[in-house]
Amino acid sequence: MILRLSSNAQRAALVAVSFAVAFVLSFFSIRNAFAVHYAGLQTAEAIERATRLEPVDPRNWYLLGRYWQYNPADPDVARAIRSYLSALSLNPASWQSWLDLAASYESEANFSAARDAYLHAKKVYPLSAEVSWSYGNFLLRQEELETAFAEMRLAVQADPRRAAEAFSRSLHAGSSFEIALDSVLPSISDAYIDVIREQSEDGHTQNALKVWDRLVFLRPRISLPESFPLVGALIVERRIAEASRVWDQAVLFAGLADLQGPPGSVLWDGGFESNVKNGGFSWLISEAFRGVQIDLDTQEKHSGKRSLRLIFEGNSNINFAGVCHNIPVQPFTAYRFSAWVRTRALTSDQGIRFQLHPIGIQDTSYAATAEVHGTTPWTLVQLPWSSGKDVQELQVCLVRSPSEEADNKIQGTAWVDDVALVPEPAEYPKP
């Protein structure tokens, strides 16, 4: 006998089933929400309650393991290990759980179990920079230098931002400079740049220079500011010739070797075409002078695409020296300095001029061009200058000296373009 339900009974049965399913889903959703809430409280009691509410969620066990491992007030490594093992029984593909389990075993001096956990992490995620980094440092602590360097090299290859730290740690572990360079650093320009920056900033300029010379063979594409730390360190140590050589190579690698400018000039980017400033042998432009707006102008220029523009706001009798350029030069050499200047309604008797003075010697004398004020078209200003016996670097500054006139608050606009320092054909007479 087949029992047939009326359409009303069928609808009632479907409604009852829907309510039952909705209730079950709602129950599990609410339970899950509570588990997430308790896990987020980051207390032992709350996370343990989350594991009771959702015992099959490996993340709850993982969070409980991290609590017991890293809680500074109440650490319990044994509990952490049990929690990580519970998490891994539910999700053996969690490389984070394997790494934290390995660190827990290592803190208990169970090096065999730690190694096994690290190897599991590598099997799960062989291309991970974090896994190779953690395992490499473990091997470093075990004084297994060759395999440690191999792992750290893999980490740097995956994440070149780790290069400087990897290189430094390998040196501290007793490696020679050459072995660290060959074994830890892959042939990636970003990795070399990271090491060069740190070694330069830490005062290890010779090390940084060696890494730079290795980088040169890669013919990299870099941004010019990436050379600033090394060039700056060499300048501080008065190794001007080496700084100049690195700068010229960096300019080439940055694709800035063909900037338009006066031919033969040893002053880089005299036409302000690069947008590079405040490092190396580029323009040094200060933001510290109130009452002067310094910017590039693409509408008004002598040549090329832009010029440097200064707007004096007329609120002070400013002593201005906010635009400078350091230039490597040869001793006993005659040069001719030149620049093109334009002004518009530049008030007071003291306009703008250029001052030249050598750096790195006791002589404090300087040479200066004639000042320019008022309203003038593009005008060439020039000045002969000769280096002396020990002069390797010259500083050129665009300045405005204070005026002694009653109406001395300078106002108006000035433009500068095509600044150059060109060696004269005649040799400077040597004593």
Percent of the chain with pLDDT over 70: 88
Q: Residue 6: which pLDDT band, with cuts at 50, 70 and 90?
A: low
Asked if CATH classification 2.60.120.260 holds for the domain at 283-423, the reply, yes or no, is yes
pTM of the model: 0.81
The pLDDT tens digits for 339-363 are 999 999 999 999 999 999 999 887 7
- The CA distance from 360 to 190, in Å, is 33
Checking if the pLDDT of 22 tops 60, the result is no
- The CA distance from 356 to 350, in Å, is 18
For residues 94 and 125, the answer to whether their CB atoms sit within 8 Å is no
Residue with more model confidence, 66 or 6: 66
Residue 37: the pLDDT is 40
Q: Residue 42: which pLDDT band, with cuts at 50, 70 and 90?
A: low
Which tokens hold the place of 344?
A: 């518009």
Checking if the pLDDT of 75 tops 70, the result is yes
Give the right CATH number for 9-253 from 1.25.40.10, 3.30.200.20, 1.10.10.10, 1.10.579.10.
1.25.40.10
Which tokens hold the place of 243?
A: 């700084």
Residue 161: the pLDDT is 93
Residue 365: the pLDDT is 79
Instruction: Name which of 30-44, 208-222, 271-285, 299-313 the model is least confident about.
Output: 30-44
Checking if the pLDDT of 378 tops 50, the result is yes
- The CA distance from 127 to 117, in Å, is 16
Instruction: Name which of 41-45, 166-170, 239-243 the model is least confident about.
Output: 41-45
Residue 85: the pLDDT is 94
**Any residues with CB less than 8 A from the CB of 80 and at least 6 apart, and which?**
65, 66, 67, 68, 69, 100, 104
Q: Which helix (H) or strand (E) holds 15?
A: helix 7-40
Checking if the pLDDT of 142 tops 60, the result is yes
Instruction: Name which of 106-110, 178-182, 417-421 the model is least confident about.
Output: 178-182
Which tokens hold the place of 36?
A: 């997430």
Q: CA-based Rg of the chain, rounded to a whole angstrom?
A: 34
Q: Residue 250: which pLDDT band, with cuts at 50, 70 and 90?
A: very high
Checking if the pLDDT of 16 tops 80, the result is no
Checking if the pLDDT of 23 tops 60, the result is no
Strand order of the sheet with strand 334-346? 292-297, 307-313, 411-423, 334-346, 374-386
Q: What is the mean pLDDT of residues 63-75?
A: 83
Percent of the chain with pLDDT over 90: 71
Residue 406: the pLDDT is 78
Residue 218: the pLDDT is 92
CA dihedral 273, 275, 280, 284 (to 10 degrees): 100
How much is the mean pLDDT over the chain?
88
Instruction: Name which of 2-11, 16-25, 202-211, 248-257 the model is least confident about.
Output: 16-25
Instruction: Name which of 18-22, 197-201, 216-220, 324-328 the model is least confident about.
Output: 18-22
Report the SS3 class of residue 380.
Answer: strand
Instruction: Name which of 52-66, 140-154, 245-259, 286-300 the model is least confident about.
Output: 52-66
Per-domain residue ranges for the chain? 9-253, 283-423
